[in-house]
Structure 1
Amino acid sequence: MPTTSTVLADLGPGAQLRAGRLPRRLSQLLAGLVLYGVSMAMMIRGALGLDPWDVFHYGLTGHLPLSFGAVVTIVSLVVLLAWIPLRQAPGVGTIANVLVIGVTSDVILSVLTRPSELWLRALLLVLGIVLNGLASAMYIGAQLGPGPRDGLMTGISRRSGLSIRLVRTVQELAVVGVGFALGGTVGLGTLLYALSIGPLVQRFLPRLVVRLVPPARLSDPALPTGSTPGSTSG
């Protein structure tokens, strides 16, 4: 598995497909998205707190006659609509994110039950967070477009001139607050996720960024040299 800098190529949807190593990148993208859905289900069954966006998703499930995965998919589509005024164009990875993660999480939730023992729930939570970091690095490293929520974050940053850090913080505080008000699960896992997901992605990403052929223009203004994006539900 090639090791590269964590600087990601700034490519439009068409250029992403012409940047080489497409079979490898598509397979890594799909594997990463499937594992992301698995990690979401693991954290839900741990029942010790969810990541910020999943607090919101889970809160909505208590008010809509829809499964968790269906809510994730619908919210992804709504977030994509917000890309229009930001003049963002979705890539293959963006569309795959919408289609794969929600379905996968529902499949895993249908076969994974909540353990009664606290230590097993804690284990599910920790393994789910680590898997989430790995899965995020896999689909980000495929360089086929950001997930809807990451694209919203970077789009707002570009258009407003505000830092990624500020936009990300405000965005996630907002979804946690609304999700908690709707009945979403906030707990120790929410804090653990917030503290660990950045370092986890930073750890995994250098080994998972696929080197593009031919070399692409690098310089995404939202991702300074040596930085890595944090992960949301894509």
Structure 2
Amino acid sequence: MQQKLKFIPHTKWTATSLWSLEYPSLSMLFFSLIIVGIGEGVLLLSNLGSAPWTTLSQGIAIQGGFSVGWASFFISCAVMLAWLPLRLKMGIATLLNVVVIAFFLGLTTSCAPVPHTLICRFIYALIGVLLFGIGTAFYLTCHQGAGPRDGLMVGLCQRFHWKVAVVRTTIEVSVCLLGWLLGGVVGIGTLLFALSIGWVVQVTLLLIARSPFILEDKPV
């Protein structure tokens, strides 16, 4: 069996390897990534600001004179290069992260009603952050790799034994600040995401670790 990360709980759906095709792990992986995609879509529909990494993509696109899509691609490549000293490995979740989240992000923004009042937009942003964080925590418990940005968080937590909330918040706030300095758009939703997503992920991991699904007692 692959070596599991100590700060991420071991559950009944935890896979035996990074590329194993087991029904429990794959079903949870798909379900949780769908939740992440819906959460990102709901956050986008709130029109209160995008996620910090999107803000950075906007800033780099403005400075580089190319599209946000290409900027996001370049960022993903650069982040994955940072995986090397952290000794992270790709898994099936790394690939599905890109495809599944993108599909349900687009589906959500196309099908979900658009909020118009400020309170509804704020509720959308709050729900989006919660869904994104909860989905992230659950897909990581499959232990089949992580997306480029989540992998950076996982690698730093594993290497330096720091708390998920501290690492994720530091990354998101730094990315948000850099994106803003480069000309990206920052809104209330952007700040809400940057300051709270790490705590949502950590609390969810802690709750999973204390649930009947846990197989080994691993601290978050």
TM-score of the superposition, structure 2-length normalised?
Answer: 0.71
Structure 2 vs 1, CA of residues 37 and 78 (structure 1 numbering), >3 Å: closer, same or farther?
farther
Shift of 1:124: 1.0
> Which one-letter code corresponds to 2:99 in the other structure?
L
Q: Give 1:173-192 correspondences, 5 Å limit.
A: 173-192=173-192
**Percent of aligned positions with the same letter in both sequences?**
33
Q: Which moved more, 1:35-44 or 1:53-62?
A: 53-62
In structure 2, how many angstroms separate the alpha carbons of the residues matched to 1:201 and 1:157?
13
> Which one-letter code corresponds to 1:37 in the other structure?
G
Query: Unaligned 5+ residue runs, structure 1?
Result: 219-224, 228-234
1:124 lines up with 2:138 in the alignment? no
> Which one-letter code corresponds to 2:66 in the other structure?
L
1:226 lines up with 2:210 in the alignment? no
Deviations 1:168-226 (A, max 9, x none): 455333311222234433232233334433443344333388656xx7xx9xxxxxx52
Shift of 1:85: 4.4
Shift of 1:122: 1.2
In structure 1, how many angstroms separate the alpha carbons of the residues matched to 2:42 and 2:94?
23
Q: Give 1:119-198 correspondences, 5 Å limit.
A: 119-156=119-156, 161=160, 163=162, 168-198=168-198
Q: Give 1:31-180 correspondences, 5 Å limit.
A: 31-59=31-59, 64-65=66-67, 72=72, 75-112=75-112, 114-156=114-156, 161=160, 163=162, 168-180=168-180
> Which one-letter code corresponds to 1:149 in the other structure?
R
1:200 lines up with 2:217 in the alignment? no
Give the match for residue 231 of structure 1. Answer: none
Structure 2 vs 1, CA of residues 181 and 119 (structure 1 numbering), >3 Å: closer, same or farther?
same
Structure 2 vs 1, CA of residues 101 and 152 (structure 1 numbering), >3 Å: closer, same or farther?
same
CA contact (8 A) 1:77 1:98 kept: no
Deviations 1:46-102 (A, max 9, x none): 1223332232245456653455xx765564344223323443211111221133223
CA contact (8 A) 2:176 2:194 kept: no
CA contact (8 A) 1:73 1:99 kept: no
The residue matched to 1:90 in structure 2 has which SS? coil
In structure 2, how many angstroms separate the alpha carbons of the residues matched to 1:202 and 1:156?
14
Q: CA RMSD in A?
A: 3.6
CA contact (8 A) 1:76 1:98 kept: no
